[in-house]
């Protein structure tokens, strides 16, 4: 496995196969409080607690299904992805971010936005072609699009050049289920590291992908840091999504 984020090599990194529940690096259970214990150094995560996957998980699943459907030229799979993505109302928010690193020379421009529900629907319609049954399903879905959508997801767009790294500061409440996802545009590989305020690793992904999902339950109110590194030679426009 290639090395990632050398400056953080001294932290206790836990490689995860996402989506998965975050693991702690200690066997001690965090204090049952939403306030940080005095001089707390252990991971800000409750390993014994889980939650019900919500809007962010739905959006992450939609992206995975879309990628699979397009690879197989399967209109029905792409349509399912479009309906999942369209079932969630997403709120655009601003977040604190620090970007470092030198841009790759001669970098390709890349896409402006990751694929959304409307783009997925258009792809499903194109793949359906002259198949009357599939075309009818797509038409029905387009009519129903936007009805009964549920909230619960916030997103922030970043257009990250190749060779650069974003670090986001994201607050989560203690004892409350936390979800986050990075959804790229497919132009390059994105590696992601999530740590708590003490530098403890919560989630870690270095797969050849730009779509990552992470969920956990913080032990106390605190800030978490999401580091996104573009290892490709093209700009990647990605969404950071949280619940």
Residue 123 CA to chain centroid, in angstroms? Answer: 22
Residues 78, 56, 162, 1: is their CA dihedral positive or negative?
A: negative
Q: What is the pLDDT of residues 9-32, one digit of tens each?
A: 333 333 333 333 333 333 344 444
Q: Using omega within 30 degrees of 0 as the cis cutoff, is the peptide bond preceding 80 cis?
A: no
pLDDT > 60? residue 5: no
| pLDDT of amino acid 199 | 95
Q: Which residue has better confidence, 14 or 103?
A: 103
Q: Which residue has better confidence, 30 or 226?
A: 226
Q: In what order do the strands lie in the sheet with 150-160?
A: 88-92, 150-160, 236-242, 178-183, 211-216
| pLDDT of amino acid 223 | 96
> Could you give the CA distance from residue 199 to residue 227 in angstroms, rounded to a whole number?
12
**Across all residues in the chain, what is the average pLDDT?**
84
State mean pLDDT over 78-97.
95
User: Residue 201 forms beta bridges with which residues?
Assistant: 195
Helices (H), the chain: 55-72, 75-86, 117-128, 132-144
pLDDT > 70? residue 2: no
State mean pLDDT over 92-96.
94
Token readout for 24 is 């702690």
State mean pLDDT over 144-155.
80
| pLDDT of amino acid 50 | 84
> Could you give the CA distance from residue 149 to residue 87 in angstroms, rounded to a whole number?
5
pLDDT > 60? residue 227: yes
| pLDDT of amino acid 125 | 95
In this structure, are strands 236-242 and 178-183 parallel, antiparallel, or unpaired? antiparallel
pLDDT > 50? residue 97: yes
Q: Which residues contact 139 (CB under 8 A, 6 or more apart)?
A: none
Contact 36, 173 (CB under 8 A): no
State mean pLDDT over 203-215.
93
The C-alpha R_g of the chain, in whole angstroms, comes to 19
Residue 91, judged by CB atoms within 10 A of its CB (0-12, 13-18, 19+), counts as exposed
Least confident of 28-42, 82-96, 133-147, 199-213: 28-42
The secondary structure element, H or E, covering residue 98 is strand 96-100
């Amino acid at each position: 496995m290639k090395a990632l984020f050398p400056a953080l090599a001294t932290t206790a990194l836990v490689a995860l196969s996402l989506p998965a529940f975050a693991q702690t690096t200690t066997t001690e259970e965090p204090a049952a409080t939403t306030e940080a214990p005095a001089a707390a150094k252990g991971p800000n995560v409750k390993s014994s607690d889980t939650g019900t996957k919500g809007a962010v998980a739905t959006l992450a699943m939609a992206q995975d299904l879309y990628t699979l459907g397009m690879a197989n030229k399967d209109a029905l799979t792409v349509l399912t992805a479009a309906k999942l993505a369209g079932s969630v109302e997403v709120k655009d928010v601003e977040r604190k971010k620090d970007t470092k690193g030198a841009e790759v020379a001669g970098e390709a421009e890349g896409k402006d936005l990751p694929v959304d529900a409307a783009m997925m629907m258009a792809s499903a319609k194109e793949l359906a072609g002259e198949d009357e049954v599939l075309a009818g399903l797509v038409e029905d879905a387009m009519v129903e699009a936007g009805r009964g959508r549920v909230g619960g997801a916030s997103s922030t767009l970043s257009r990250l050049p190749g060779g650069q790294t974003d670090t986001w500061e994201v607050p989560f409440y203690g004892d409350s289920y936390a979800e986050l996802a990075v959804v790229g545009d497919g132009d390059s590989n994105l590696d992601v590291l999530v740590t708590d305020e003490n530098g403890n690793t919560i989630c870690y992904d270095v797969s050849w992908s730009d779509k990552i999902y992470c969920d956990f339950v913080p032990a106390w109110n605190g800030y978490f840091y999401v580091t996104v590194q573009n290892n490709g030679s093209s700009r990647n426009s990605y969404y950071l999504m949280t619940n």
